[in-house]
A and B are shown apart, each in its own frame.
Chain A
């Protein structure tokens, strides 16, 4: 791993205040991401993965109870910038975002060209013509014909709108793009198309991706690294090749065993019980109540334990390795 990664996240926390109590959506998350890499944040609904995206982008709702830690992108600690500087210097140009159901996030009454060019006009101060020219290039790169610039989003299919949102996120050439469930509302063939486009772009534009998803199978199309989230924390951080062959954390193993495969007749499993409530979390391992392998030590919170091959697992079963930091 290089000495200064593109992204370094240290002990990131994002808590929300609600009438029922404090929701610990992101609870001490740390990871690095190199240039031209893709990390997949895998997790089920309510595990805090979308909140992690919001925390990285500083797209925060009003009811934030706590927001701390460090997010360093290209050497700049973006948590220390004030909102205005972050907006001008980082959002769209350093780090951009394709939100969940992005195809419904476009403005229906603004031409595709104006929407895709907008980050350039606003954040890079470009003239409209020049920005449209760049928007045209980007549309072609994501596989849309250039004359789509003059169309309106409602004239496009879901897959085309998803590509438009992607073009918009890429047009100011950020080094890091966060994709929140980029294909989950799309059909299988459209999904395959979008994943093809993402693979191409990563090669051509030297962009890094954070892919936030619950879809294990699709995530394997893009991932170099995998971060498994459970109850607001990363419980396993691994390179993708090792992860998809042999996940280590009991939750990861169970999750992988529940994924149906087209080309494998193995019987599917499920995880009994429910994920914990993020308002009343246990002190120890948060997966322990559902874990078939729990033992005495699980009442203590496990750190991410570093393994010999560089993988990290938040599980006491792997305490043979060296502890992180």
Chain B
């Protein structure tokens, strides 16, 4: 399969033209348990994923559980080694990094985990949690480290610092814990933040506050941000583009407004239709949900992976040939045969 390298999109607003991160034809696999010599097979969690993230741009990767979005994040973070394809950060190939370069790379990307309580070591206080990345990377003396810690705490609005620094994670509320996680992700002044479901464990009234904080950091530091989420409704306010993932592939990419108001892929349409807004009329209406469940990633359906559930299924095409990425509108791409003549 030839790699599908995304062309440059038009820049919007404060976003620079230069790519911060390029992902090219990426595939991440996990081998199933082997039986003596026989290979049981592979779970192809990420397959043929290509995109570019610009400096200062936020994208949201949206999909259901098991669609491969977290595996994509972890491959980008360098925690999983890709089986095929490559990740380029500022033009440098992640696959070729030696230990020193990998350490540099990891200082350039901040990781915001889903479950803040699980992500913070319970036996370290806030000062120690934030100091550790600085010590590991041998940055500054004691006084300098202390200054940086206070600076970051101020940025994530965890004040007064003197009250918070000696506290242990269990003494903080969920929102405060997530701020500590964000502070830790920011402490080495990264260029890219990867946030995996950053607010899904938090209450509605706190979520917006955390997402606004991330947006503020993005703007202030011209950060690239990748949100991994299942929650389209909230992330739409805090990102420039949305990618929809299904069964290991990104099946649609578009700017936020485009994707929500003019979704192309039948799966995206089904997903959007299933999302409720608080509305008293909902009580009397049934939702139209595509039949079946997302496929196994060990033996996904041939060709288009959504075809067994798709209302627009075209026999002899969708189940035979992989749909390439069509671009019916500038900057709006979909992996779907419906758009074969629209380009």
Do residues A270 and B212 form an inter-chain contact, with CB atoms below 8 A? Answer: yes
Q: Distance in Å from the Cβ of A317 to the closest Cβ of chain B?
A: 20
Whether A66 sits at the interface, judged by CB under 8 Å, is no
Do residues B204 and A262 form an inter-chain contact, with CB atoms below 8 A? Answer: no
Whether A73 sits at the interface, judged by CB under 8 Å, is no
Whether B274 sits at the interface, judged by CB under 8 Å, is yes
Of B209, B270, B271, B287, which one neighbours A195 at CB under 8 angstroms?
Answer: B287
Whether A268 sits at the interface, judged by CB under 8 Å, is yes
**Range of interface residues on chain A?**
35 or more
- The verdict on A255 contacting B276 (CB below 8 Å), with A189-B289, A196-B286 known, is no
Closest to B272 in A: A262
Do residues B279 and A244 form an inter-chain contact, with CB atoms below 8 A? Answer: yes
- The verdict on A44 contacting B204 (CB below 8 Å), with A188-B230, A262-B260 known, is yes
- In the assembled complex, the Cα of A220 lies from the Cα of B283 at a distance in Å of 7
Q: Per-residue CB proximity of B257-283 to A under 8 Å, as 1/0?
A: 000100000000011101111111011
Closest to B200 in A: A184
Q: Per-residue CB proximity of A153-197 to B under 8 Å, as 1/0?
A: 000011100000000000000000000000000011111110110
Which of A83-91, A211-219, A292-300 touches B? A211-219
- List chain B residues, Cβ under 8 A from A187: 64-65, 230
Whether B236 sits at the interface, judged by CB under 8 Å, is yes
- List chain B residues, Cβ under 8 A from A195: 276, 287
Do residues B287 and A192 form an inter-chain contact, with CB atoms below 8 A? Answer: yes
Q: Per-residue CB proximity of B282-316 to A under 8 Å, as 1/0?
A: 11001101100100000000000000000000000
Whether B338 sits at the interface, judged by CB under 8 Å, is no
Interface size on B, residues (CB 8 A): 39
- The verdict on A216 contacting B231 (CB below 8 Å), with A44-B205, A45-B203, A255-B204 known, is no
Do residues A258 and B204 form an inter-chain contact, with CB atoms below 8 A? Answer: yes
Of B203, B260, B283, which one neighbours A44 at CB under 8 angstroms?
Answer: B203
Do residues B237 and A268 form an inter-chain contact, with CB atoms below 8 A? Answer: yes
Q: Distance in Å from the Cβ of A299 to the closest Cβ of chain B?
A: 23
Do residues A220 and B260 form an inter-chain contact, with CB atoms below 8 A? Answer: no
Closest to A185 in B: B65
Q: Distance in Å from the Cβ of B290 to the closest Cβ of chain A?
A: 7
Closest to B267 in A: A189
Q: Per-residue CB proximity of B207-222 to A under 8 Å, as 1/0?
A: 1110110000000000
Q: Distance in Å from the Cβ of A182 to the closest Cβ of chain B?
A: 14
Which of A23-31, A53-61, A221-229 touches B? A221-229
Enumerate 16 A-B pairs (CB-CB under 8 Å) in ascending A order.
A191-B274, A193-B287, A199-B286, A216-B204, A217-B233, A220-B279, A220-B283, A240-B283, A258-B205, A259-B278, A261-B278, A262-B236, A263-B260, A270-B212, A272-B209, A274-B175
7 shortest interchain CB distances as A-B pairs: A260-B234, A260-B233, A192-B274, A187-B64, A271-B205, A44-B203, A270-B208
Write the residues of chain B forming the contact surface with A, with a CB cutoff of 8 angstroms. 64-65, 173-175, 203-209, 211-212, 230-234, 236-237, 260, 270-272, 274-280, 282-283, 286-287, 289-290, 293
Write the residues of chain A forming the contact surface with B, with a CB cutoff of 8 angstroms. 44-45, 157-159, 187-193, 195-196, 199-200, 214, 216-224, 240-241, 243-245, 254-256, 258-264, 267-272, 274
